[in-house]
Structure formats: C-alpha cells, structure tokens
Structure 1
Amino acid sequence: MDSWNRAIALIEEQIADGAHHRTSGTVDVARLARATLTSEHHFRRMFSVLAGMPVSEYVRRRRMTLAAPAVLSGQEPLQDIAVRFGYRSADAFSRAFRAVHGVGPVDARRAAPRLRSQPPLRFTLSVEGTQQMTYRIETLDAFTLLGRRRRLPIVHQGPNPAMTAFLDELGQKTLEDIAALSTGRPPGVLAVCTAFEEEREDGSTFDYWLAAATQSPPPDDGRQPDHGPLESLEVEAHQWLVLSSQGVEIEEIQQLWPQAYGEWFPANPYEPLDVPEMLATVHDDGGEEDHMELWLAVRPTAQSSG
C-alpha cells in the first residue's frame, strides 16, 4: 500500500501548492499513476474501488475542505480562492463548494453553516483474502462484435431499468438473430460494456451492447433483417482475465467488478486495458443459465515483463 499512500501525499502536495500560490493547484493524475507504477486507466479504476469514490470526487472533497477556512474568513475574493484551488471561475468553484458542503460560499460567509470535512485517505493492509479466487487467463485472436447498442446510465447496485427496457425493446427474435452469428469466443449473446465516462460514477453513461463475437463477416443473402442492420465493433487480439460469478443473480454479477479491481489486480502482476468488457452466460448440462463470466482484457505490468 506504500505506493498508494505516496499518491495520496502527492494529491495533498499539489492541492497545497495551489493553496500557497506555488502552482495552479491542478492535480496531475498521470503523475499519481506513475507513483503507483500503473497506467492512468488502471489507477482511476483501482482508486474508485479502493477508496469507494472516483479520484476526481476525492480531490474535490479535499480541495473544498482546505478551501473552507479561506471562504469563511471573508478576506479574499472568491475568484482568487477559486484559482488557487484549481478552478477557472468563481462559478465553478461555487458549484463544487455547494456539492461538497451543501451550501454555497456566499451563504457560508453570511451564516455559520455546518460544513463537511474530508480527511486525507490512508490505505492500510487488512487481513482479507483468506479465500482463494479462481480465475483463468485466455488468449483470443482479433474478432468482431456484431449486435445492437444503447447509451445507458451506470447502476452499480441493483437492477438497471434502462438496461431492462433496452432488452425488452430488442425482443427475443433479435437476440436469436444475434446468437446465430456467434462463431467466436466467448460464445452466445454477450453483454458488452465500453466507452465509459472517465470516472464510471453511478449515473454516468456508457455504451451497452448485446452482441456476438464472430471471426468472419455475417452472410449477405440480400435481405434486410426485421430489426434493422447490426452495428459492429472490432476488438484486437489480447489476453483476457476471466472471472466467474456464483450464480446469475444481479448482485452476484455486479460483484465481479469489485472482485476484479479490488482483489485480483492488486494481487497479480497484470493491468486492465481500455477494451470492451464482456459478460458471457454459461449454461449447465440441461441448458439452464448457471453462472456468468466477466472477460477483461489485460496485459502484464512492466514489473512482471521486464
């Protein structure tokens, strides 16, 4: 955890530099990633899982915690405080202040409201991981995803109504047509997630596909399918981490991502790639849905490969 605590110290240093007029107060996430020996993409995902909030939210909370005394003192224009803490305008600073404290800076100066304080994070080692995780690493050649997509909001816990509505709208016939195109691995109709907004917060959006992996273009018999033409997405050759859920309940499936980023990646010399994430259904011998598999593209970290 030492490298992650160094990243927290860097955040404090960069915010403090702005507060003391030494820099613009901008937090360089690429620098934080280098401190943890990861890519920026990996750092953002890991931080969200370990801290329970995106790095941008943590930085905002710490900025507003440190900016509160300057706001309350009333000795400095809000525009000057905003610039020192990394905001280009007093309006942007005021929105961030209100989002954290529940009251705007002008009102905070007039009254004596209750404000919120975000202490610096500190990552510590706890005694977990007594249960071994099972996983496998697969290597897939390049393939094409063929299917339908919809821009949806992220829901980290519980059902996603927009996702359910999309599935109902497509209907069984469309899903059967997509399934018939499956010639690659993983087989069947895949739930594919890609094009996430940077921090992947609850309510932010991503592209959700119901698609099949195919190694060859679909046959062209001159007919237009009832559901309209399918979209395609090319995926390059990669190694893939495959984790399995215990069953097919929504809560069990949603736990696959925290298991991957909170448990597997910290313990193994790999990092995730910014590649579509795939969720495949595995059936039992009787053809019933048994469990789900999460497929994440990975590569060995620099330490393990060099």
Structure 2
Amino acid sequence: MISELNGLIDEVGVRLAEDLDVPALARRLGTTEYHLRRMFSSLVGMPLSEYVRRRRMTVAAADVLADVPLLDVAVRYGYGSTEALNRAFRAVHGISPAELRQHGGPLRSQPQLRLRLTIEGRSTMDSRITDHPPFRLVGHAVQVPLIHQGVNPHIQAHIASLPLAEHERLKQLSDSEPAGLLQVSADVDPDFTEGSTLTYLHGVAIDRATAVPDDLDVIDVPAGSWVVFRSSGPYPEALQETYAASAADWFPSNPWRLREGPSIVAVIDRAEDFRTATTELWMPIERQA
C-alpha cells in the first residue's frame, strides 16, 4: 500500500496543472479509488484534494513572486478566474497573491510527501477476518458531521433522544453478527474529510429474512469479507486509535484493501459511565488483486 500511495504522490507532483484522474491511476496501481483515498487521508492526516491544493499553491507562490500575470497563474493551476485563485491562495497561505508581492510573505509551504513504512513491533493488533452472508442494519439513522477525535456530540444527542424502551426493542431484534446494539457509519466521504456529512445509524444487525418494523431505517449490506479489530481502553480514544492503526499498520502489512460499505462498531463491554469500553470495529474488505 505504501508504494501505491507514493505512486499517487508522484502523479500529483507531475500533474499539478491538470485534473488528477484518481480512478484511472488507482486501476493502474492495482487498487481502487476508494481504498487509495481512505488510506491517503488516514496516513497523511488530510484529504487528497487538500494536499493537491496545498501543493498547487506552494508552487504557484513562486510564479506570483516572479510577477507572472495572475490570470496566467490561475489558468495554469486549474482556476477559472483570479478570484478563484485568490480564495485558494489565501486558504493555504493566509494572504493574497497581491499581498505576497507587496510584502514577500509569509508563506506556508507544503513539501512533497514521501511515505515510508516503519515497523516498530511494539504491539499486536487483535484482529480476525470473517466472511459474512448478506444482512441488514436496522435502527434510527441521522445525518451528522464527521469528527476525527473525541466524542461526536451530534451522535450523542441522537442516541440520547431515543427512549430507553427503544434500545431494548432494538436489542430484541438483533439476530445476526455483529451482535447487540451497533454504531454504524455509512456514506462516508472517501477522503474522510473532517466536517463532511455521513449517515450514522444506531441499531442492530438482522438476517435478510427477518421482518423489519416500518418505523426503522434500513441499510442493506451485501455478502463479503470483513476485518474485525477488538480494542479496549478509554472511550472513544482507544477506538479512534484502532481506526488510525488499521491504516498505519494493518493494511500496509496484509493483502487486503477497504471496499465500499459501512463501518460498524459493536460495544462488547463498557463501564457504567462509558469512560472505558471494549469494542469490535468491523470494516468491509476485499483481497488485493
């Protein structure tokens, strides 16, 4: 996976002035656009689109300082007007091209990345791979913003709005793995951009043949393979660290890649105040070609 991501970074470097055809590049690298974008965002800490913008504006700054006409700079880096260039330039550098010419800076440069796999061997990830027949996720869904660290207050509010009796009703419906009440994230931005909207479902897994009450939302999940990571510790920090470690450690070391589909968290055990918990993180995967 590291070599594929470095191939993507190299392609960005030689095609800064062009629209990057990520699907075609992913096929050439023997992977998928979805997996490539998710791994890039997880390892680098920013979406691919943001890295491309930062690199473009880093290189564009040299043209601005060289007194290249701003409309020429805008067109060179894929912007249709000097106003669009100004917005992108200010978002990266904090100043406009005109202010750069007047004051010479400051600039916030984005170096070209180079990823390396460092194997430290300090810990072993508790994981298993399972093949699962088609099933359904049913419960109460809501649109929420993606938050990378800490508790998501929008999800907290959604869960708190459900009566206690509703949690019990959902538990009674559960008849498939993952067992028990589940935290489901679906329709997630492939770039994993913080603040982007996702579908959060508080519910359970049921067999395709099980009748679904009319008042519940449904996510149909096709048959496929899943990697299941178990973690214990402070909640949600330990779970979020597991997400990060899957990209940094597990996927680069195993012949699997993410496929599109929901990620599922099953809470196996937790403290009464939910400050600590044991969870299972289910992620849909497919074998690398």
Residue aligning to 2:252 = 266
Structure 1 alignment gaps of length 5 or more: 19-24
Cα distance in structure 2, aligned partners of 1:6 and 1:291: 37
- Give 1:91 shift: 2.5
- Give 1:248 shift: 5.5
Amino acid at match of 1:300: R
Look up the SS of the partner of 1:125 in the other structure: coil
Identity %: 38
- Give 1:79 shift: 2.8
**Structure label with greater radius of gyration:** 1
Residue aligning to 1:168 = 160
Amino acid at match of 1:93: L
Cα distance in structure 2, aligned partners of 1:54 and 1:75: 29
Amino acid at match of 1:235: V
Amino acid at match of 2:229: L
Cα distance in structure 1, aligned partners of 2:135 and 2:42: 30
Question: 1:140 touches 1:240 (CA, 8 Å); kept in 2?
Answer: yes
Mapped pair 1:158 → 2:144: no
RMSD (CA atoms): 2.1
Which of the pair has the greater relative contact order for Cα pairs under 8 Å at 6+ separation? Answer: 2
Cα distance in structure 2, aligned partners of 1:236 and 1:2: 30
Q: Normalising by structure 2, report the TM-score.
A: 0.90
1:269 to 1:84, Cα distance in 2 relative to 1, 3 A: same
Residue aligning to 2:26 = 33
Match of residue 188, structure 1, among 170, 177, 180 = 180
Mapped pair 1:210 → 2:188: no
Residue aligning to 2:134 = 142
Cα distance in structure 1, aligned partners of 2:85 and 2:121: 41
Residue aligning to 1:115 = 107
Residue aligning to 2:41 = 48
Give the 4+ runs in structure 1 shifted more than 6 A: none
Cα distance in structure 2, aligned partners of 1:105 and 1:173: 59
Look up the SS of the partner of 2:49 in the other structure: helix
Question: 1:3 touches 1:35 (CA, 8 Å); kept in 2?
Answer: no
Mapped pair 1:236 → 2:257: no
Residue aligning to 2:233 = 247
- Give 1:180 shift: 1.6
Mapped pair 1:301 → 2:288: yes
Question: 2:235 touches 2:277 (CA, 8 Å); kept in 1?
Answer: no
Residue aligning to 1:58 = 51
Amino acid at match of 1:199: D
Question: 1:270 touches 1:298 (CA, 8 Å); kept in 2?
Answer: yes
Look up the SS of the partner of 1:192 in the other structure: strand
Q: Normalising by structure 1, report the TM-score.
A: 0.86
Question: 1:6 touches 1:35 (CA, 8 Å); kept in 2?
Answer: no
Pairing of 1:5-44 with structure 2 (within 5 A): 5-15=6-16, 18=17, 25-34=18-27, 36-44=29-37
- Give 1:213 shift: 0.8
CA deviations 1:71-109 (Å, max 9, x no partner) are: 233331x23212211223333222111110001223323
Count of matched residue positions in the alignment of Structure 1 and Structure 2 = 283
Moved more, 152-161 or 32-41: 32-41
- Give 1:57 shift: 1.1
Cα distance in structure 1, aligned partners of 2:127 and 2:268: 15
- Give 1:211 shift: 1.3
Cα distance in structure 2, aligned partners of 1:128 and 1:198: 28
Amino acid at match of 1:5: N
Mapped pair 1:280 → 2:280: no
Residue aligning to 1:21 = none
Cα distance in structure 2, aligned partners of 1:219 and 1:159: 30
Amino acid at match of 2:37: R
